[in-house]
């Protein structure tokens, strides 16, 4: 059976910079796969390639056993592949419900249907009480949850999460971990970029490590934590002593 996502030898250059170089990996239905690496390793560029915001110079991207390499982001979204962004930018003068409806319109043409779908997502994400609140008034953790809710409203099969834990305090991180657990329990497949090692090691079944645009390791969290190249390039010897 084909993987839900299959990335084959993907490369991307920006002038003289090789941002992603010959990266291959797959994501199976129902998995949570983490993506880690130093700043500038190519993680967000890889997300942009998978989601269609930039096109690769080489390689192929397959989703649900069909080639999507040249499809625009909105076409991939309609197929069930959606992403969030590290810098969340909700529509500040719109309510939380209206923001989520923007995502729901990817599946529903009628406003009433989009509203019903948005309300369902708000209930599932624990944000019903905030439905009529203006998005610009939300604290960081709620803005990040809204970003995920808006993406969920597109009814994805694969959701790419770009540093949803960044800027959160320990209590908020705990809440977000539980939130991702509920998404996983619903059968959603997740590809997650994260710098907080305690979090990514906890939530991921498998981890992909990038360095200077190349994949240097892939495997279970325990194996990645002991991998010599990962320790040298990213984790550091002190991680083993923690």
Q: What is the 3-state secondary structure (H, E, C) of 62-129?
A: EECCEECCCCCHHHHHHHCEEECCCCCCCCCCCEHHHHHHHHHCCCCCCHHHHHHHHHHHHHHCCCHH
Question: Rounded to an integer, what distance in angstroms lies between the CA atom of residue 175 and that of residue 96?
Answer: 19
Question: Rounded to an integer, what distance in angstroms lies between the CA atom of residue 14 and that of residue 70?
Answer: 18
Domains and CATH numbers, the chain: 5-87+156-241 (3.40.50.300)
Report the predicted TM-score, pTM, of the whole model to 2 decimal places.
0.90
The sign one gets for the Cα dihedral 108, 109, 112, 115 is: positive
Question: Rounded to an integer, what distance in angstroms lies between the CA atom of residue 218 and that of residue 7?
Answer: 14
Share the mean pLDDT of the chain.
Answer: 92
pLDDT above 60: residue 238: no
CA distances from residue 112 to 105, 148, 206 in whole angstroms, order as listed: 10, 21, 40
Each residue's pLDDT tens digit, 93-127: 999 999 999 999 999 999 999 999 999 999 988 89
pLDDT above 50: residue 241: no
Each residue's pLDDT tens digit, 140-180: 889 999 999 999 999 999 999 998 888 888 888 888 888 88
Each residue's pLDDT tens digit, 186-232: 889 999 999 888 899 999 999 999 999 999 999 999 999 989 899 88
**pLDDT > 70 in the chain, percent:** 97
pLDDT above 70: residue 242: no
pLDDT above 80: residue 235: no
**Is 84:147 a contact under the CB 8 Å cutoff?**
yes
Residue written as token pair 């090789």: 18
């Amino acid at each position: 059976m084909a993987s839900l996502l299959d990335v084959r030898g993907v490369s991307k250059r920006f002038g003289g910079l090789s941002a992603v170089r010959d990266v291959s990996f797959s994501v199976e239905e129902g998995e949570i796969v983490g993506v880690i690496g130093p700043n500038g390793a190519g993680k967000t560029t890889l997300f942009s390639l998978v989601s269609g915001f930039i096109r690769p110079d080489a390689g192929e991207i397959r989703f649900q056993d069909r080639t999507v390499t040249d499809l625009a982001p909105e076409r991939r979204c309609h197929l069930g592949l959606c992403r969030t962004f590290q810098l969340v930018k909700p529509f500040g003068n719109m309510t939380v419900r209206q923001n989520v409806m923007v995502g729901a319109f990817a599946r529903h043409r009628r406003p009433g249907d989009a509203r019903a779908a948005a309300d369902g997502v708000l209930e599932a994400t624990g944000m019903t009480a905030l439905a009529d609140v203006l998005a610009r008034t939300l604290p960081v953790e709620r803005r990040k949850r809204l970003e995920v809710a808006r993406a969920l409203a597109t009814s994805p099969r694969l959701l790419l999460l770009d540093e949803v834990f960044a800027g959160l305090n320990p209590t908020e991180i705990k809440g977000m971990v539980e939130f991702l657990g509920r998404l996983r329990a619903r059968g959603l497949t997740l590809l997650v970029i994260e710098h907080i090692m305690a979090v990514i090691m906890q939530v991921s079944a498998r981890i992909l490590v990038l360095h200077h645009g190349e994949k240097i390791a892939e495997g279970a969290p325990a194996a990645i934590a002991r991998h010599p190249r990962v320790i040298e390039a990213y984790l550091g010897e002190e991680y083993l002593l923690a």
